[in-house]
Chain A
Amino acid sequence: MIRFLLKGILRDRSRSLFPFLIVAAGVFLTVAFFCYIKGAETDFVRYGANLSYGHVKVMTRAYQKEAEQMPNDLALTGLSELADELRRAYPDMDWAPRITFGGLLDVPDEKGETKAQGPAAGLGVDLLTPGSREPERLDLSKALVRGRLPAAPGEVLLSDEMALKLKVLPGEKATLIGTTMAGSMAMKNFTVAGTVRFGIQAMDRTAMIADVADVQAALDMEDAAAQVLGFFKDGIFRQDLADAAAGRFNAQPRDPGDDFRPVMQTLSEEAGMGYLLKTMTSMAAVIVFIYLLAMALVLWNAGLIGTLRRHGEYGLRLAIGEGKGHVYRTMITESLMIGVLGTIVGTAFGLALSYFLQAKGIDFSGMLKNISLMMPTVLRARVTPLAYVIGFIPGILATLIGTAIAGRRIYKRQTAQLFKELET
């Protein structure tokens, strides 16, 4: 019977094409929307990860306890060895040393004495190593307001607001006064290469971005870094993989009494991030559920309409002696087939679009030229395993239920009335 019905569906497009297209379109939209929501969620995570947290972060146990104070005296030492170990053990991740530090930026007058000074919140990142993805992660090209990105040792970027306040222009000198890893006074001259604006108030007031090697030299942190951030190479945070990586790293035999042993923590273990991530995931689930419900209603309705549209056909089949149960079963089987076919096609198209948006994205930075807010300029989706099956809920179930409910009318039809219906 299935073969017979399948032939009917394929050959008599007048009765199957419309329901098929509705199901395919509905499922396509469901899958694409689900992946888009997941992509938006991922973008939020990406910004947090790129700016501060990484997908995972390695630091000393002591630093982890006081991380908000940026205690560089508790930084990781033996950085090269640790970085090699991380690259070997986790080849699917990029590893980037970072140093956050506080200090005072002093701008000299023509005599070399203090002309202006102000507090600086510094970030040391790998700006100069060829192939480093750090400038891209911080979106420095977009954030640049004046000047250019650092191209040589000793060059820094300052927040535009701070540069204006201190009256320092690109190309001029400024001296960082900070604290070395050992707690001594650190002073180092830098050349301001350019100024940046991120659209994040805290960063835009006092940010100073320098190459990590310069910061190491300035703060006497040779072969040391406050943290080593790990990023999945495709830029997407995956909690399960991050948990696995952190679990494996932290399970290595190390002296539990050593407060300076390296530990790895995931993005969701950052203060506040876990809660935010859970809230975002819940909100995304609610939005997707509402959308699924709406799509289910549409497809259910399509099932009802499809059944009602074929009212005459069913009447004829009953009139020539086909059993009501048989007609009902063929209807259900047909709708199941259309649901499956439509869902497969819709899911395939939805996934294709989502994969494209995940890999390439749609760059709409041209529309945001005059907007200084630090926000994603590339629309990206994210394909998760659930995206492969989520379309089946509205695609098959709703169609099936719609047909099943509409089909109940078959049992209410009277044989005596059928010929009258046919006559009209």
Chain B
Amino acid sequence: MIKATFLGCAWLSIAASGGLGQAVPSAQEILERADRNAMSGNRIAVSEMTIHGRRDSRSITAKSWIQGDDKAFTEYLAPAREKGIKMLKLGEQLWTYSPDTDRTISISGHMLRQSVMGSDLSYEDMMEDHSLVDLYRSEVAGEETVLERPCWILLLTSKGGDVAYDSRKVWVDKERYVLLKEERYAKSGKLLKMLEVKSVIRIQGRWVQNSMVVKDALKSGQGTEFKIRTIEFDASIPDTVFSKASLRK
């Protein structure tokens, strides 16, 4: 669910208004622009994640405080069962706090591959905070229209570091440099995750993907929907928010 806030973080690019010139940019340049947009500033967001189970669907609301690309604090607001659960991400570390048990627990190792709140996202997805340019080599593989927007298709191949996905295929809006679609693959070439942006809106002069569906290709079901209810950019967030002490507050 923290990933819902990630809408404003790594996956979801936030594009400055205005486009580039007409010259065809290189794959590296496209990726750098998309990265820059995705990793920008401080923000506070309230988001909603709808998880479609095999029996029924449920929605989880959370408020997140994000600073740069490596600090995030999320508090779950609803439903009642999840209310009060908090998560703190500091760089490579992730903790969760549950008021029922009054325990702060570090999430690491194989737990990172588990689904977040039953969604199609794993904690590993949530932890991803490096820019794509740092992790992947890129090449332009073509052009396609997504969400009625002309897009570059980029093929990203791992540079060999510790990455969860060996390769990716991303569709980047040619004008707004917003990522509109993504497919993530294993080393074997097997499709693991799919992301599809459903709508992009302009907030505080930035293009924000405010609705998207993430689908774990290995799971049956309709995927997980993310929606941003509110988002505030360049917000002032005290450093104390990003501390383990704030989990128990």
Contact = CB atoms under 8 A, between A and B. Distances in A.
A389 interface: no
Interface stretch (A34-42, A173-181, A292-300, A373-381): A173-181
B110 A119 contact: yes
B4 interface: no
A335 B242 CA distance: 96
Interface stretch (B23-31, B65-73, B114-122): B114-122
Contacts of A180: 81, 118
Contact of B100 (A117, A183, A188): A188
A114 B105 contact: yes
Given A183-B53, A184-B81, A106 B118 contact: no
B101 A73 contact: no
A187 interface: yes
A233 to B, nearest CB: 34
B249 interface: no
Contacts of B60: 184
B111 A187 contact: no
A192 B182 CA distance: 45
Contacts of A119: 110
A176 to B, nearest CB: 9
A223 to B, nearest CB: 14
B12 interface: no
B81 A117 contact: no
Nearest to B116: A185
A73 B103 contact: no
A183 B118 contact: yes
A113 B115 contact: no
Contact of A184 (B82, B104, B108): B82
Given A180-B81, A184-B117, A185-B117, A175 B54 contact: no
Nearest to B108: A117
B190 to A, nearest CB: 18
Given A74-B54, A183-B115, A108 B103 contact: yes
A260 B101 CA distance: 32
A112 B102 contact: yes
Interface in A99-119: 104, 106, 108, 112-114, 117, 119
B131 interface: no
A182 interface: yes
Given A187-B98, A260-B55, A179 B105 contact: no
A243 interface: no
A354 to B, nearest CB: 49
B157 interface: no
Nearest to A189: B101
Contacts of B100: 187-188
Range class of the A interface residue count: 20 to 34
Nearest to A108: B103
Given A114-B105, A117-B105, A185-B117, A104 B111 contact: yes
A179 B114 contact: yes
Contact of B104 (A62, A112, A117, A182): A112
B1 to A, nearest CB: 9
Interface in B164-223: none
Contacts of A179: 114-115, 118
Interface in B104-135: 104-106, 108-111, 114-119
A73 B105 contact: no
A177 B119 contact: no
A117 B58 CA distance: 30
A139 interface: no
A125 to B, nearest CB: 23
Interface in A179-216: 179-180, 182-185, 187-189
Nearest to B104: A113
Given A73-B54, A74-B54, A175 B103 contact: yes
Interface in B37-83: 51, 53-56, 58, 60, 81-82
A62 B54 CA distance: 10
A229 B176 CA distance: 58
A270 interface: no
Contact of A187 (B55, B103, B110): B103
Contacts of B56: 182
Nearest to B109: A117
Given A119-B110, A220-B81, A182 B53 contact: yes
Nearest to B118: A183
Nearest to A114: B106
B14 interface: no
B54 to A, nearest CB: 6
Given A74-B54, A182-B53, A189 B103 contact: yes
Nearest to A176: B101
Nearest to A119: B110
Interface string A70-89: 00011000000000000000
Given A179-B118, A183-B118, A183-B119, A112 B54 contact: no
Given A112-B102, A179-B118, 10 more contacts: A62-B54, A73-B53, A73-B54, A175-B105, A180-B118, A184-B60, A184-B81, A185-B85, A185-B116, A185-B117
Interface of B: 51, 53-56, 58, 60, 81-82, 85, 96, 98, 100-106, 108-111, 114-119, 244
Interface pairs A-B: 10 shortest CB-CB: A183-B118, A187-B98, A114-B106, A187-B101, A189-B101, A106-B105, A184-B117, A175-B103, A104-B111, A113-B104
Interface of A: 62, 73-74, 104, 106, 108, 112-114, 117, 119, 175, 177, 179-180, 182-185, 187-189, 220, 259-260
20 contacts: A73-B53, A73-B118, A74-B54, A74-B55, A106-B103, A106-B105, A112-B103, A113-B104, A117-B105, A117-B109, A117-B111, A175-B101, A179-B114, A180-B118, A182-B118, A183-B115, A184-B81, A185-B96, A187-B103, A220-B81
